[in-house]
Amino acid sequence: MAERLDGYVAGGARFTKWRAALVVDPVKQTPTAECLTENARRMAAYAKLVAARGMVAICEPEILMDGDHSAADVEAALGKALDALFAELAAANVPLSSVILKTGMVLAGKESDEVEPPHEVAAATVRALKAQVPAGLGGVVFLSGGQGARLATAHLSAIAGHEPLPWPIAYSYARAIQGDALVAWAGKPEQVDAGRVAFLHRLKLLADADRGAYNPAQD
């Protein structure tokens, strides 16, 4: 990895990401402590190599939404994952200012009947982060993780409503930014402009949400 990172830096790269996908299953009692520790250890080793080269290390211990687990299950799993990650980062002497945490929000699984309003999602997410994420971290960015665009925007805005927080926050969405634009475009040359309009509209709403000022009536 060190040799590959040197090549990336020479090519102009300034950040990179390591993702671990963690499955919550209360019956199987996953993710296990061993799983969390091993993933955190490897992520910290990666972050140390990245920091030594003057790059930003994005660490992403993602709690997957697949399953029927509860929001409380996710909050517990996220807390344990973050505890393991920051313990290993400290043990490896990784400077936190060079690290960005990419994380999901505290949401019940996609197959669960549990539906939490945005203010509850925000409160649980902020509670989990404050309990485990040290001050001095470069920042926290949220993934949409299978949420629809509107929900992901509303949840981000509700979380931003808790600022100031010990670290900067932002978003690192994929489908929640691109989805509306892809539908509007539909792969048709004559609909490129419609795709662009949809894309810019979603970005405007997310910029508002990042300030805690999302207005659902505009969505």
Q: Which residues are part of the catalytic machinery? A: 60, 102
Alpha-carbon separation of residue 166 from 29, 126, 130, 139, 145 (angstroms): 31, 11, 8, 9, 23
56 neighbors 15 (Cβ within 8 angstroms): yes
Phi, psi angle pair for 79, to nearest 5°: -60, -45
CA distance 180 to 169: 24
CA distance 90 to 67: 32
Rounded (to 5) percent helix, strand, coil in the chain? 55, 15, 35
Interaxial angle between packed helices 175-185 and 149-160, expressed in degrees from 0 to 180 and rounded to the nearest 10: 150
Residue whose pair of structure tokens reads 């600022």 in the numeric block: 163
- Cβ–Cβ contacts within 10 Å for residue 219, how many? 15
Structure tokens at 65: 């939404």
Alpha-carbon separation of residue 36 from 63, 77, 127, 152 (angstroms): 11, 9, 20, 26
